[in-house]
Amino acid sequence: MDTNRITGLALTIPPIGAFILWIIWGLVLFGGVGPDTPQEYIVKSGENVTAVKILFPLVTLLFLIAIAGVGYIKKSMEGGPGSYIAGFAWFLIIIGSAAGLAEVGSGLAMAESSDNAATAAAAAAAAAAGGDPVAAGTAAATAAANSAIASSMFANGQAIGAVSTAFTMLGFALFGVGVWQAKNFSPIISGLLVVAGLFTVIMCLVDYESILMGLGYLGIVLSFVGLGVSLLTKKG
């Protein structure tokens, strides 16, 4: 299997899989509850802590595989039209993707703390019902502490995510400009990269918790698929 085919598959399958998992995560597991309702989102994360520990890193890994495919395209452009802007775009993508791992870590810590808070709250209620005020007080304090940690991790993750995603998406938009200059892919694909990237950057600055962020990600996924299919059907 040649490099073009491997890269094409990396740009086609993983982003589609990641987006499907993201939809399952948001609609099935979380029942449509998102970061735009922080307290409910934190509670849902705790209730689905096992799934979060699996899906959050998995979705991230799938997107990173696709980003590696973008890196191969950038390398193939070196020395030609659009190579300079593609190189700078790749720099932004790498910075944003690396920083985004901190958002993943914060999300996992949030889910774990939320689950611990719920467990401690249940223990406090049981102790109170059993007439043990000391144990009830200790458990209640533990629940409050874990709840505070979960809220802190949520805020931390959202702040990091807004900045890291903005860097990554600006990189995708600039990469679209580089692809347009190089004319090595359809202008529709490069245009979609630019539009989806800039739209998501604006959303990161305006309201990172908005459900409209999903439209930006969908645009990027479609762009990746377009790049991948172009490589898979390329002759020679």
pLDDT tens-digit profile of 92-119? Answer: 999 999 999 999 999 999 999 999 999 9
Contacts (Cβ under 8 Å, ≥6 apart) of 208: 35, 158, 161, 162, 165
Question: What is the rounded CA–CA span in Å between residue 175 and residue 172?
Answer: 5
Report the pLDDT value the prediction gives residue 45, as an integer from 0 to 100: 93
Report the pLDDT value the prediction gives residue 66, as an integer from 0 to 100: 94
pLDDT at residue 174 above 70? yes
Residue pLDDT, tens place only, 187-218 = 999 999 999 999 999 999 999 988 899 899 99
Give me the percent of the chain exceeding a pLDDT of 70. 99
Listed by start position, the domains of the chain span 3-232
Contacts (Cβ under 8 Å, ≥6 apart) of 44: 29, 30, 31, 33
Is the Cβ–Cβ distance between 46 and 101 less than 8 Å?
no
Q: Identify which of 11, 10, 164 has the alpha carbon closest to the alpha carbon of residue 92.
A: 164
